[in-house]
Structure 1
Amino acid sequence: METDGKKIPLKKAPPVRRKQIFKSSWSGANVALEGAGAARAAEAAAAASSGRLRPPFPRSGFGSASGGGGDKAQPGSSEASKPAGPRRARPATGSGAGAILGGLGLSVFSLFSHETENEEQKEVTQEDTIIYLLKKAKVNIMKGELDEAERILHDAARLSRESDNKDAIIYTYDTMANLAFMRGEMEKAEKLFKAAMSFLLAGGMKEDHNAIIAMSLKLTSIYAAWNQHDQAQAGYQFCIQTLEEKIGKQKELPADVQPEDEKADTRLLLGMTLDSYARYLLANGQAATAQKMYERALQIATEVQGETHPQSVVLLSDLATALDAQGLYEEAYARGARASDLARQTDHPEAHIVLNNLAGILVHQEDYARAREVYKEALEKAEKTGDLFSIRHIQKEMAEMRKKQKQARTREQDGVEAGSP
């Protein structure tokens, strides 16, 4: 993987061989580009082929593994530079695509330093203007007003270049890249991420800094969406191996040198990477390997955030999906049922999706009576949340289940008649 200025070493991995993916209970899915666009583009192919509806990552979950985890705060290490934990079609506001940029913490603006008390008023005013524009762009993004956000960001970029404010340039480019990523403008996002990484590396940031890895992961997800499998595989391997090495080194550091929360952030970034890689593998017919990645991601989420954390529940449901894809229905049901129980107990915002996935497993087990009850529960919860996308798909899956059940009854009846004297 290259930036405009430097290369990030990527270890070569064998290309993925595309296979026909299993048809499970949900068609369409893992990110059909969340409403406004492709914040979930890397996984669009995954869900479409796996046929499983997948909840978006709560930004409070792996989303907390910001680019700054384990390192001093840097531009580009904000929420804006977090990999999208992309899952499926959803409006740009609220959770999902809009949430990718929703965590733009105002503290990040302190990175634009007023180095001395004697700065000229013109410079201070220009910097303040940049900060104001970035804050305003954030609000527009959260409202789903993406065209206006892009216009404002272009103004911020122009002012940043005019004032030669490197921190502002980096942060603005990173935000513009995330916006392009959300809108499905992948070529633009690729160029902007590379430009931001070039600035960071030229400024002395190390290649194992979480901000660099987070941007590398997003570049990797772009290559995955483009079916550039060599680059995607190499990118995932770089991110995973770099984080594993970093975590190994951090374990040896005392808390006064490396705070525990920073260590946790790096682990969560690894969990996010493993999850993204698992979805990519599942989309390309490698369910067994995807299962292993999900298991590792789930272990990290559970250890760091607890079993009942929204992200842990999502990952448990995803693990069930990978097992279901392999025809391991009993194991898939056990995981899916546990995820559904936790979703109910915790009033999970995406409980209807977790339940829908469990119903799909029951259909594969030909337990139509229980599948129907779970589908009904999923539909009720989807209607309460006003999730029209999920409502339509649950209704579609219920119709397909009734068709399968009717066919099964016909076969059974034919068998009885064939056995009659």
Structure 2
Amino acid sequence: MLRLVTLDVTNTLLKFSRPPGEQYAAIGQLYGLNANPKKLSEAFRISFKKHEKEVPFYGASSIGWQNWWLNVVADTFRKADCPADDDTLKKVGYHLNKHFSHGGAYELIDGSIPLLTRLQSKSLKIGAVSNFDERLDSILIQKMMKFAVTLYENISKTRKLFSKASESISFNAKRYNPGINPPRIVYWTKSVNNVYSPFMPFSTSNIILRSSFLMFCGNQNYLKHRLDSREQKANSNKNKMLYFYPFFALALFQSKKDEEEEKSLESELIMIIKRGVLAIQRAELNKAEQLLHVALKSAQDTQNHQAITYIYDLLANVAYQREEYVKAENLFKEVLKRVLADGMAPDDNAVVEISLKLASVYASNGDYEKAVQGFHFCIGTQEGKIKKYGEANVDEDTTLLWAMSMDWYARFLLNLQKYELAKKHFIKAYEMSERVQGLNHPQTAVLLNDIGSVCSLQKNYAEAISYLERAIDAAKQSDSPDLGSFYVNLGAVYLQQGMLQEAELNCKTGLFLAKKSKNVEGIEEATACLTEINSVKSENPKK
């Protein structure tokens, strides 16, 4: 039974009413500072990430959020080539702290009011859970909530934040009798990798929803879903966390009359789709396809247009993973036709995402002309949005989808042995990943590894070692499951140079890590590397 819905705030319910640079510039002018708003926006993004890394959680355990933001403000103006004395910057900082403490600095994202109204009509407890400082309590949106919990106030993070959320409505799974499912909680967020990702284990009956479902509350168009770039790569590690996509929320927001009339059919359909998605995550592709075809028949019988589109997309992904490229192509085209017919803009991120998959299908089929056209469309469309609004002002999905398009195109070029061009695109993808996700994000580490691999193919061994060592450092920080493979790749570079001792050390480390993480592919890679090393040793005993 659903009892609680918690929502992230930033970019899920609220966004800046104007870009930060414009708001900083307006306040700065009151104190005689004339700064370029665009430069301020870019400087703000850089300063925020810098201070977030150096003094995490808004200085909760050290200098406090007020001083933390004063430092960000001062750093932002300096980086925007707007020098001022410390006293003036402090006054501007205090003014901005107050300015961003009220609702005027923000505006509701489209669909927020209908969403909250529909949730309230269901008598659900609604709360805000956010990576925010303690000013969240004074922002207007909190008045619509039963409670607000911030990471700043709960510095221990992990489960404690969500434990506090559930305690706020006076229930806990432990109060329920054994064998009875605990009440379901929905965590609603813009980015699953942001505040929410560590908390899914809090209860296996809980759901994380991407905030793209908000568009459903304002209209009945296709419910967009986002796949993490790692999930979209062929032969990539499967994400162990199951992301329940927005379609599943349909059952939560039916009217009472609808629930009475369609409860059985809708519940059965949603359950079948959930089982199909679980099978995909577990790489049980035959089972997934069977389940999804059953779900498709049910959706067609009930004329559930949105469900049909969603299931087609899932089936297309299954076909792609099974290397059934003709089937995947036809299904992706059908999904694209349906979402465009429903009114989705041709440059919408969801359209670009499907087009990127199609380009990859064309590449796999050997239709290189269509593949290149597809990759160029995806890269060009995302670049157009970034140039139009500025990188600091577009959402994270847009920038990361651009980086993913660059990454996939680079892999395509790599297969064609266009090493220098592939390297160029890998580097662009890496630079964006580092800016948006951080140096130690698993995807950033993967891209560093890919650049190193290209350098190795070009026989630029010193450069290859440098990139691979950086990939290893980043992977260590993020506990990446690919760490063992990176060590093996580094060992292979040393092997190519005849440095057998270094090669063996790295391949053995890779084997140890692969066994520890039960990474079968990693174990095979490391074993093959060590076998090759032993072969070289036997041929050249002195080495």
TM-score, normalised to structure 1, is 0.71
Task: Give 1:397 shift.
Answer: 1.9
Question: Which has the higher relative contact order, 1 or 2, with Cα contacts under 8 A spaced 6 or more apart?
Answer: 1
Partner residue in 2 for 1:13: none
Partner residue in 2 for 1:190: 329
Counterpart-to-counterpart distance in 2, 1:145 and 1:119: 34
In the TM superposition, what whole-angstrom CA distance separates every residue of 1:16-59 from its partner, at most 9, and x where no partner exists?
xxxxxxxxxxxxxxxxxxxxxxxxxxxxxxxxxxxxxxxxxxx9
Aligned pairs for 1:149-188 (under 5 A) are: 149-188=288-327
Counterpart-to-counterpart distance in 2, 1:323 and 1:339: 14
Contact conserved, 1:180 with 1:189, CA < 8 A, in 2? yes
Task: Give 1:217 shift.
Answer: 1.0
Partner residue in 1 for 2:377: 238
Letter of the 1:337 counterpart: E
Partner residue in 1 for 2:470: 338
Letter of the 2:470 counterpart: R
Structure ranking higher in strand proportion: 2
Contact conserved, 1:181 with 1:189, CA < 8 A, in 2? yes
In the TM superposition, what whole-angstrom CA distance separates every residue of 1:195-244 from its partner, at most 9, and x where no partner exists?
11111010110111111111111111111111111111111111111111
Task: Give 1:185 shift.
Answer: 2.2
Counterpart-to-counterpart distance in 2, 1:226 and 1:248: 33
In the TM superposition, what whole-angstrom CA distance separates every residue of 1:68-123 from its partner, at most 9, and x where no partner exists?
879946646324696854253x7xxxx42xx49x6442543235796765548444
Going from structure 1 to structure 2, the CA distance change for 1:135 and 1:392 (only over 3 Å counts) comes to: closer
Aligned pairs for 1:249-398 (under 5 A) are: 249-251=388-390, 263-398=395-530
Going from structure 1 to structure 2, the CA distance change for 1:105 and 1:388 (only over 3 Å counts) comes to: closer
Aligned pairs for 1:54-203 (under 5 A) are: 72=215, 75=222, 77-79=224-226, 84-86=231-233, 88=235, 95-96=237-238, 99=239, 103-110=242-249, 118-119=257-258, 121-123=260-262, 125-203=264-342
Contact conserved, 1:80 with 1:178, CA < 8 A, in 2? no
Q: For 1:206, what is the secondary structure of its paired residue?
A: coil
Counterpart-to-counterpart distance in 1, 2:253 and 2:470: 52
Task: Give 1:317 shift.
Answer: 0.8
Going from structure 1 to structure 2, the CA distance change for 1:113 and 1:246 (only over 3 Å counts) comes to: farther
In the TM superposition, what whole-angstrom CA distance separates every residue of 1:143-202 from its partner, at most 9, and x where no partner exists?
444333322222221222222221111111111212222222222222111111111010
Q: For 2:286, what is the secondary structure of its paired residue?
A: helix
Contact conserved, 1:177 with 1:188, CA < 8 A, in 2? yes
> Is 1:226 matched with 2:365?
yes
Partner residue in 2 for 1:211: 350
Counterpart-to-counterpart distance in 2, 1:383 and 1:119: 51
Counterpart-to-counterpart distance in 1, 2:256 and 2:337: 30
Contact conserved, 1:308 with 1:342, CA < 8 A, in 2? yes
Letter of the 1:132 counterpart: M
Going from structure 1 to structure 2, the CA distance change for 1:356 and 1:323 (only over 3 Å counts) comes to: same
In the TM superposition, what whole-angstrom CA distance separates every residue of 1:221-277 from its partner, at most 9, and x where no partner exists?
1111111111111111111111111222332896xxxxx6xx111111111111111
Counterpart-to-counterpart distance in 2, 1:82 and 1:104: 13
Task: Please give the root-mean-square deviation of Cα atoms over the aligned residues, in Å.
Answer: 3.2
Contact conserved, 1:83 with 1:218, CA < 8 A, in 2? no
Counterpart-to-counterpart distance in 2, 1:339 and 1:328: 17
- 5+ residue gaps, structure 1, are 1-58, 255-259, 413-421
Letter of the 2:525 counterpart: H
Going from structure 1 to structure 2, the CA distance change for 1:76 and 1:216 (only over 3 Å counts) comes to: farther
Counterpart-to-counterpart distance in 2, 1:246 and 1:384: 43
Partner residue in 2 for 1:54: none
Contact conserved, 1:83 with 1:214, CA < 8 A, in 2? no
Counterpart-to-counterpart distance in 2, 1:180 and 1:68: 27
Counterpart-to-counterpart distance in 1, 2:281 and 2:461: 40
- Identity over aligned pairs, percent: 31
Going from structure 1 to structure 2, the CA distance change for 1:340 and 1:80 (only over 3 Å counts) comes to: closer
Whose Rg is larger? 2
Counterpart-to-counterpart distance in 1, 2:373 and 2:421: 16
Counterpart-to-counterpart distance in 1, 2:464 and 2:533: 18
Contact conserved, 2:400 with 2:433, CA < 8 A, in 1? yes
Counterpart-to-counterpart distance in 1, 2:480 and 2:471: 10
Going from structure 1 to structure 2, the CA distance change for 1:82 and 1:116 (only over 3 Å counts) comes to: farther
Q: For 1:237, what is the secondary structure of its paired residue?
A: helix
Q: For 2:439, what is the secondary structure of its paired residue?
A: coil
Counterpart-to-counterpart distance in 2, 1:117 and 1:207: 36
Q: For 1:335, what is the secondary structure of its paired residue?
A: helix
Letter of the 1:316 counterpart: L
Partner residue in 1 for 2:531: 399
Task: Give 1:367 shift.
Answer: 2.0
Contact conserved, 1:294 with 1:318, CA < 8 A, in 2? yes
